């Protein structure tokens, strides 16, 4: 579903929430944070008795004595309401008898409390003040979702009335964690718009701080109880995607299907299961890569309507609070403990050294002025995006970042498996007393890395200032196998960004331009296309390669720098949805000459098209195919 349709659905939810603010209860209980560690109900002899209540309550998404929001919530009878709702977790084959008491002042519609796989329209309708029950037998193991709303047509849940429903294989005790993403909001499309996104009932920097043990596998279940897409990114490590689901039906991957990622998109009311192994100690992050979902006080322009947001909403800078790091909402902090970290700069000398300068750049006809990158020995001027930064797999590399701006910054090496100290989250990355510093004006920072795999990655600012990102402080990071040389004539990078913080007015940019020039390729030549989405909030970029209006074919190669399983590394239609923080690699071997269109379309507006002329080698026009 496109973002605009989701917004209209969500608007209905917010309006109904306002109409139903009166509660039949005389008092508003405090809503407790639910870390999804304890299952609700009474389980005995293969049966679960579950008693739930729908009621209004007071939610504190930050500290318990901080901001207070009155919302609809779910409680287990006799207990405080929770955010998210009580965890329903049972073994396969359990008989569930669920009673739901509606303490709201309007009729409620409860979804998901049934056998799975299930149907979204299988719901309980409960009048205000009434109680209904349902009995069913749990079937397929998996990660599911239940939710409630006071709108019969709502399919996303209202306020905090949602929770995880886990069915385990019989006889197994799974040591995993369950993380539920929820949203509350008001005044959609108004300058007074306000919203809070949370993970297990809290928003960063008040989300649970996680701890993991070096070498010990972590199994996580991510449940998206919002109508929005969230590209969830793990710093420093790959994770395996074990299963994906839509809240009602789950598909569990077998060994041949299982793929790796560093960023995984979870659609509205969808889920995914992941497994990862901490390979290096230190502090790491797991967060949504949409800037407005992981940055304090920033909201994209499209949430406010055509008049745009207040000036402050698009000019937020990095916070001074080291506990917040300029981030907010959908962020989890992870500390991996193990053997004491050895700062690798002292352990081994780099084989390769590179110098990356950050300098102010003047405005161009199609791009605003602002900070940009200059790579010593590669580029001769500061570009609208960073140049390809090419390094070699297994080769110890030192990249010195020189900050010539009048403000601090920090650079994150997105997708690379490296030591925490060099990950680039200033004030957070590192271990013990070795915490990554800001790169202050006039200073430099040396990041050491020895990439263990080749692929397509990203380097970008992790200083939470939307102006830095949309001015072009990002670029492609390409890791090649030893002995390989980067040839831009056949290795094509397509880097997607935005030309400013206002998606209503600022264009989608391809390789730093809203109007990219003609690209010439040759028939019979194999090309590697590297796609990167590092826009602030374009969560759904539809990509297609067309000839005469028809989709052509290409071969899938990699996702997030990791080679795809053989079953997925196949020729397919040349279409791909690319979310923020994702990279995709495809091989393209054109057979037919013609004018091709490589089209990128965002669901929040704006299209950018790369025209590609495919010509035979004998064609005079073919001389332009070698143009760098």
Over residues 275-309, the pLDDT tens digits come to 999 999 999 999 999 998 988 766 666 676 666 66
| Residues 73 and 160: beta-carbon distance below 8 Å | yes
Distance, CA of 160 to CA of 86 (rounded, Å): 11
Render pLDDT for 174-200 as a digit per residue (tens, 0 to 9): 789 999 999 998 877 777 778 899 999
**Pairing outcome for strands 81-83 and 32-33:** parallel
pLDDT for position 366: 66
pLDDT for position 284: 97
- Report residue 20's pLDDT band, with 50, 70 and 90 as the boundaries: very low
pLDDT for position 155: 66
pLDDT at 125 over 60: yes
Q: Are residues 157 and 96 in the same domain?
A: yes
Q: Are residues 447 and 534 in the same domain?
A: no
Distance, CA of 606 to CA of 550 (rounded, Å): 21
Q: Which of 312, 327, 349 represents a domain boundary (last residue)?
A: 312
Q: Distance of alpha carbon 96 from its chain centroid, rounded?
A: 34
pLDDT at 359 over 80: yes
Render pLDDT for 489-511 as a digit per residue (tens, 0 to 9): 999 999 999 998 887 788 999 99
Two tokens at 602? 């965002």
Distance, CA of 15 to CA of 4 (rounded, Å): 17
Domain assignment present for residue 325? The answer is: no
Render pLDDT for 209-219 as a digit per residue (tens, 0 to 9): 999 999 999 99
Query: Phi and psi for 113 in degrees, rounded to 5?
Result: -90, 75
Of 157-166, 358-367, 525-534, highest mean pLDDT:
525-534
pLDDT for position 170: 86
Residue 32 to residues 187, 202, 362: CA-CA distances in angstroms? 25, 10, 51
Q: Are residues 375 and 520 in the same domain?
A: no
Q: Are residues 182 and 280 in the same domain?
A: yes
Angle at 93 between CA 91 and CA 97, to 5 degrees: 90
Q: Are residues 545 and 519 in the same domain?
A: yes
Domain assignment present for residue 318? The answer is: no
pLDDT at 370 over 60: yes
pLDDT for position 295: 80
CATH of the domain at 158: 2.60.40.420
Distance, CA of 342 to CA of 334 (rounded, Å): 19
Distance, CA of 302 to CA of 510 (rounded, Å): 21
Q: Are residues 158 and 136 in the same domain?
A: yes
Distance, CA of 580 to CA of 433 (rounded, Å): 32
pLDDT at 259 over 80: yes
Q: Which of 453, 484, 515 represents a domain boundary (last residue)?
A: 484
Q: Which of 437, 460, 484 represents a domain boundary (last residue)?
A: 484
Q: Are residues 256 and 297 in the same domain?
A: yes
Contacts of 8 (CB under 8 A, 6+ apart): none
Beta carbons within 10 angstroms of residue 411's beta carbon: 27
Bridge partners, residue 260, by sequence: 240
The DSSP symbol for 156 reads: S
| Residues 626 and 531: beta-carbon distance below 8 Å | no
Q: How much is the average pLDDT of 322-327?
A: 61
Domain assignment present for residue 109? The answer is: yes
**Pairing outcome for strands 331-337 and 282-288:** antiparallel
Domain assignment present for residue 400? The answer is: yes
User: Considering only 51-60, 137-146, 242-251, 423-432, which range has the smallest mean pLDDT?
Assistant: 423-432
Domain assignment present for residue 323? The answer is: no
| Residues 102 and 188: beta-carbon distance below 8 Å | no
Percent of the chain beyond pLDDT 70?
A: 88
Domain assignment present for residue 220? The answer is: yes
Percent of the chain beyond pLDDT 90?
A: 74
pLDDT for position 298: 64
Q: Distance of alpha carbon 321 from its chain centroid, rounded?
A: 24
Render pLDDT for 199-248 as a digit per residue (tens, 0 to 9): 999 999 999 999 999 999 999 999 999 999 999 999 999 999 999 999 99
Q: Are residues 473 and 501 in the same domain?
A: no
pLDDT for position 369: 83
- Report residue 1's pLDDT band, with 50, 70 and 90 as the boundaries: very low
| Residues 415 and 314: beta-carbon distance below 8 Å | no
Q: Are residues 497 and 349 in the same domain?
A: no
Residue with the larger pLDDT of the pair 502 and 335? 335
- Report residue 341's pLDDT band, with 50, 70 and 90 as the boundaries: low
Render pLDDT for 394-435 as a digit per residue (tens, 0 to 9): 999 999 999 999 999 999 999 999 999 999 999 999 987 889
Q: Are residues 618 and 536 in the same domain?
A: yes
Please give the tally of structural domains in the chain. Answer: 3
Look up the pTM and report it.
0.92
Q: What is the CA radius of gyration of the chain?
A: 25
| Residues 88 and 166: beta-carbon distance below 8 Å | yes
pLDDT for position 245: 97
Q: Are residues 500 and 478 in the same domain?
A: no
pLDDT for position 552: 98
The DSSP symbol for 539 reads: -
Per the structure, the complete domain to which residue 366 belongs is given by 341-484
CB burial of residue 366 (10 Å; 0-12, 13-18, 19+):
middle
Domain assignment present for residue 333? The answer is: no
pLDDT for position 318: 41
Distance, CA of 22 to CA of 45 (rounded, Å): 41
The DSSP symbol for 178 reads: E
Domain assignment present for residue 324? The answer is: no
Q: Are residues 302 and 368 in the same domain?
A: no
| Residues 266 and 229: beta-carbon distance below 8 Å | yes
Distance, CA of 272 to CA of 101 (rounded, Å): 30
- Report residue 626's pLDDT band, with 50, 70 and 90 as the boundaries: confident
Give the residue carrying structure tokens 């990950």: 423
| Residues 435 and 422: beta-carbon distance below 8 Å | no
């Amino acid at each position: 579903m496109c973002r605009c349709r989701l917004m209209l659905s969500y608007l209905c939810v917010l309006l109904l929430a306002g109409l139903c603010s009166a509660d039949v209860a005389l008092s508003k209980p405090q809503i407790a944070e639910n870390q999804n560690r304890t299952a609700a109900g009474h389980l005995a002899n293969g049966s679960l008795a579950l008693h739930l209540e729908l009621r209004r309550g007071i939610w504190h998404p930050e500290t318990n004595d901080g901001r207070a929001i009155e919302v609809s919530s779910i409680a287990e009878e006799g207990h405080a309401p929770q955010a998210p709702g009580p965890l329903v977790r049972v073994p396969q084959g359990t008989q569930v008898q669920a009673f739901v008491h509606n303490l709201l002042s309007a009729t409620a519609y409860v979804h998901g409390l049934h056998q799975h796989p299930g149907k979204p329209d299988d719901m309980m309708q409960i009048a205000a003040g009434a109680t209904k029950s349902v009995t069913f037998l749990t079937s397929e193991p998996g990660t599911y979702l239940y939710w409630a709303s006071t709108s019969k047509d709502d399919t996303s849940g209202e306020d905090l009335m949602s929770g995880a429903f886990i069915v385990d294989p019989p006889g197994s005790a799974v040591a995993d964690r369950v993380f539920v993403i929820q949203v509350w909001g008001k005044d959609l499309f108004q300058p007074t718009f306000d919203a809070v996104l949370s993970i297990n009932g809290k928003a960063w920097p008040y989300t649970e701080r996680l701890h993991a043990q070096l070498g010990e596998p972590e199994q996580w279940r991510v449940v998206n109880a919002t109508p929005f897409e969230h590209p969830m990114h793990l710093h420093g490590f790959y994770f395996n995607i074990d299963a994906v689901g839509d809240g009602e039906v789950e598909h569990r991957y077998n060994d041949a299907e299982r793929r790796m990622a560093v960023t995984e998109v979870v659609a509205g009311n969808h889920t995914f299961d992941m497994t990862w192994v901490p390979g290096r100690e230190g502090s790491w992050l797991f967060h949504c890569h949409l800037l407005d979902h992981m940055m304090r006080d920033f909201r994209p322009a499209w949430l406010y309507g055509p008049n745009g947001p207040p000036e402050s909403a698009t000019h937020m800078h990095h916070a001074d609070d080291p506990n917040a790091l300029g981030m907010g909402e959908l962020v989890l902090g992870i500390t991996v403990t193990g053997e004491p970290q050895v700062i690798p700069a002292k352990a081994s000398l780099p084989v390769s050294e590179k110098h990356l300068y950050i300098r102010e750049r003047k405005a161009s006809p199609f791009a605003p002025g602002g900070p940009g990158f200059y790579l010593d020995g590669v580029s001769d001027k500061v570009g609208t995006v960073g140049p390809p930064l090419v390094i070699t797999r297994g080769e110890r590399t030192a990249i010195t970042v020189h900050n010539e701006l009048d403000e601090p910054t920090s650079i994150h090496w997105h997708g690379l498996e490296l030591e925490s100290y060099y990950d680039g989250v200033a004030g957070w990355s590192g271990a013990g007393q070795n915490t990554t510093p800001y790169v202050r004006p006039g200073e430099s920072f040396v990041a050491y890395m020895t990439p263990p795999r080749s692929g397509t990655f990203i380097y970008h600012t992790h200083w939470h200032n939307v102006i830095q990102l949309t001015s072009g402080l990002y670029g492609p990071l390409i890791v090649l196998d030893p002995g390989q040389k980067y040839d831009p004539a056949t290795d094509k990078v397509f880097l997607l960004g935005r030309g400013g913080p206002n998606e209503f007015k600022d264009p989608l940019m391809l390789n730093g331009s809203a109007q990219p020039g003609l690209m010439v390729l040759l028939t019979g030549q194999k090309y590697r296309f590297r796609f990167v989405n590092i826009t602030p909030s374009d969560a759904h970029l539809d990509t297609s390669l067309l000839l005469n209006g028809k989709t052509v074919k290409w071969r899938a190669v990699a996702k997030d720098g990791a080679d795809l399983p053989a079953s997925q590394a196949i020729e397919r239609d040349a279409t791909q949805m690319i979310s923020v923080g994702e990279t995709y690699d495809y091989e393209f071997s054109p057979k037919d000459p013609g004018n091709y269109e490589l089209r990128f379309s965002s669901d929040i507006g704006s299209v950018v098209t790369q025209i590609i002329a495919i010509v035979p080698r004998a064609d005079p026009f073919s001389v332009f195919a070698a143009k760098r």
